[in-house]
Amino acid sequence: MRIAIIGKPGSGKSTFASVLAKKLNLPLYHLDKIFFVENWQYRPYFDFLDEQQDWCDEDSWIIDGNSLQSLNMRYERATMVVYFNYPLWLCYWRIIKRIFRPNPEIDDLPKGCSKNLSWRLITYLWGHEKRINPLLKVMREIYPDVPFLEIKSDKELEKFSLHLFEK
């Protein structure tokens, strides 16, 4: 099983990915962990792509994160894509909440990168749907056999989780 989890910051991708990895006993990879190095500096892009390709070449995985420029790399190998598309207000609230109450079980960032609310994150989240929706349309046309699930609420996530975990 190869599951690509994408979506807005603060939507719950990393939390769900961690739970899913434990339940299904799959290796979990967080893109932010290799996209950035200390203090939110960008890793050289080709190094990021090489490491991501190594993950994608494995037989099973869960990869959490966006990196829209390299989404095709994950999508073409995925057996399922899960898109967390929660309302903006909720994502902003969760980002603020995690600054003050981080989940110690979520290890999705490189050392030296603390969870914060930066202008870069605010604007990234604000324009996320505009950037991702056209790309998802293309990916779904190119890979029509890859199951795609859009999650817009905790209720939908709970329903999906119950279905997935009963298998």
Euclidean distance between CA atoms 11 and 64, whole angstroms:
12
pLDDT at residue 117 is higher than 70: no
Helix (H) or strand (E) holding 29: strand 28-30
Average the pLDDT over 58-66 and give the result: 94
Query: Would you say residue 20 lies in a domain?
Result: yes
Query: Would you say residue 151 lies in a domain?
Result: yes
pLDDT tens digit sequence for 93-111: 988 887 787 777 776 665 7
pTM, 2 dp = 0.88
Specify the pLDDT at position 48.
Answer: 84
Query: Would you say residue 165 lies in a domain?
Result: no
Q: Are 148 and 84 in contact (CB under 8 A)?
A: no
Euclidean distance between CA atoms 114 and 107, whole angstroms:
11
Query: Would you say residue 166 lies in a domain?
Result: no
pLDDT at residue 145 is higher than 60: yes
> What share of the chain has pLDDT > 90, as a percent?
54
pLDDT at residue 167 is higher than 60: no
Q: How many domains does the chain have?
A: 1
Tokens of 145: 């056999």
Query: Would you say residue 26 lies in a domain?
Result: yes
Specify the pLDDT at position 116.
Answer: 66
Query: Would you say residue 140 lies in a domain?
Result: yes
Euclidean distance between CA atoms 7 and 84, whole angstroms:
4
* CATH code of 20's domain: 3.40.50.300
- Domain assignment of residue 39, given as a range: 2-155
Greatest mean pLDDT among 38-42, 74-78, 125-129 lies in 74-78
Specify the pLDDT at position 156.
Answer: 93
Specify the pLDDT at position 112.
Answer: 66
Query: Would you say residue 161 lies in a domain?
Result: no
pLDDT at residue 62 is higher than 80: yes
Query: Would you say residue 164 lies in a domain?
Result: no
Going by pLDDT thresholds of 50, 70 and 90, the confidence category of residue 86 is very high
